[in-house]
Amino acid sequence: MMKRERDNGNLSVCHVYFGNVFALPIMRSELIRSREQNIRATVIAPRYPHEKSSGVLAFPSEGNFDHVSFHFISLLARKVTANQRADLKLIRYVEFVARTLACILKTRADVYVGHDMPAMLPVFLGCWLTGRKMIYHAHEIWSEAGTEVSPLLKFWKPVERIVTRRADLVVVPEGNRAEIIYREFGSRKIPVVVRNVPDWKPTTRRLDLRERIGISKEAVLVLYHGLLSPSRCLPELVDSLTWLPRNVHLVLLGSGEPAFVATLEEMGRKAGIGPRLNILPRVPYSDIQSYISSADVGIVLYRNRGRNNYFAAPNKFYEYTFSGVPVVVSDFPGLKSLVQEGEFGTWCDPESPEDIARAILNVKETGNRSALAGRAREMFSWEKEFQHLVDAYRSVVGRRDQSGK
């Protein structure tokens, strides 16, 4: 079932990810579009049967994945316990590496893609044993990802350097990171930059966030969606409400550690802004665009805790701007240059509640929404990014597509 024979017209790509593949927007977009480029895709990833109850389908209803061969690994260690203790995480990861390596050795693909370093390790081992082509898709500089994402940093630092130097190609989401990977980690060539641009299409879904939280059309709705984490400057964002007029409401849409979410709620109560602070659970990705369209301001803040944050490359920036929602971003080079280039909003000191409030007040008056959306869609598109990615795949395996490109 896992074996694939080579086809002269098709390119076969095997993706490996240590996570929920459908919770990674860029991978979802790539898999959906792969048929258009004569790509036969295989995915090896852990099974997440619990995701359906938490609002993210383990196998989403939207998107056509009939052309993709999925091999979901049921981790025995996860069945025993889902406890997030470091030693138990390590046991689960060792099982993932062993079982994924066995799957890789049974497959035949033109190129194997490891998405982030935990997935790249079994890809590296499998390709080293078989002499196959491998690509490292580094969504983060993993050895600098922080303990909340990567608890085994001492292990990952040397491994990331070894794997990066031996990969046939590295893919990153941001240009400054490409320079870091090339000059400091020693990749064979400058990494290919494929930005986290969503595969945007007009939506017919009508999900009104204002209706859901019970505010009028005249109220100013500020939206943050994504991981609820201190690294996203959410305490400062909540505190900024105390500097803003009473008609400004904040929605935090996403999931995070329960203790941290409770801290944010307590902050709101103590500051007397509880009614203006709404923390909502994450929703299916197919609903995000509709909810974003209800907002007046989109928030993209990162704390300056390492180069992944300093050179952040989040898909939410594009999701906001494609819907015509102006953004407030951290005053860091990558995001700031994007905002300046398209006049998409403004920037602030992400650790200053007062400066965040100033930026929100300034940006909510930013021009015509339809014009902003038009600029964003003209400047960025998943079609362009995906073609760039496919060209990179074909360059690694030395194969042109059927049209002779």
Answer whether residue 50 is part of any domain. yes
% of the chain with per-residue pLDDT over 70 = 86
**Three-class DSSP category at 30:** helix
- Output the pLDDT for position 84: 61
Alpha carbons 316 and 321: distance in angstroms, whole number: 9
Residue predicted with more confidence, 401 or 78: 78
Chain Cα centroid distance, residue 47: 19
Do 286 and 244 lie in a common domain?
yes
Instruction: Say if residue 248 is in the same domain as residue 292.
Output: yes
pLDDT reading at 49 higher than 80 = no
Say which residue the tokens 């927007």 belong to: 25
Residue 146 sits in the same domain as residue 159? yes
Instruction: Please compute the mean of the pLDDT values over residues 209-228 and round it to a whole number.
Output: 94
Structural domains of the chain, count: 2
pLDDT at 120 over 60: yes
List pLDDT tens digits, range 312-350: 989 999 999 999 999 999 999 989 999 999 999 999 999
260-269 contacts: CB < 8 A, separation 24 or more? 260/228, 260/229, 260/230, 261/228, 263/235, 264/228, 264/234, 264/235, 264/238, 267/235, 267/238, 267/239, 268/238, 268/241
Q: Are residues 164 and 253 in the same domain?
A: no
Instruction: Say which DSSP state 38 is in.
Output: T
Most confident of the following: 35-39, 283-287, 361-365: 35-39
Coil vs helix vs strand at 378:
helix
Shared-domain flag, residues 374 and 291: yes
Residue 69 makes CB contacts below 8 A (sequence gap 6+) with 2, 4, 40, 41, 42, 43
- Residue 311: which domain range? 209-379
Q: What is the pTM of this model?
A: 0.88
Residue 222 confidence (pLDDT): 98
Parallel, antiparallel, or unpaired: how do β-strands 68-73 and 111-115 relate? unpaired
Structure tokens at 109: 């693909």
If asked whether residues 84 and 59 sit together in one domain, one would say yes
Task: Count other Cβ atoms within 10 Å, centred on residue 258.
Answer: 9
389 and 331 in a common domain: no
pLDDT at 53 over 80: no
Q: What does the pLDDT look like over 378-404, one tens digit per residue?
A: 999 999 999 999 999 999 998 555 444
Does residue 57 register a pLDDT over 50?
Answer: no
Q: What is the pLDDT of residue 58?
A: 45
Q: Say whether both 374 and 386 belong to one domain.
A: no
Supply the pLDDT for residue 82: 60
The CATH number assigned to the domain holding 263 equals 3.40.50.2000
What tens digit of pLDDT does each residue of 17-38 get? 998 888 888 998 999 899 888 8
pLDDT of 83: 59
- DSSP secondary structure, 91-120, as one string: HHHHHHHHHHHHHHHH---SEEEEESHHHH
Q: pLDDT for 245-255, tens place per residue?
A: 999 999 999 99
Q: Can you tell me the mean pLDDT for 43-61?
A: 58
Q: Read off the pLDDT band of 144 (50, 70, 90).
A: confident
Same domain, 285 and 168: no
Residues 185 and 227 in one domain: no
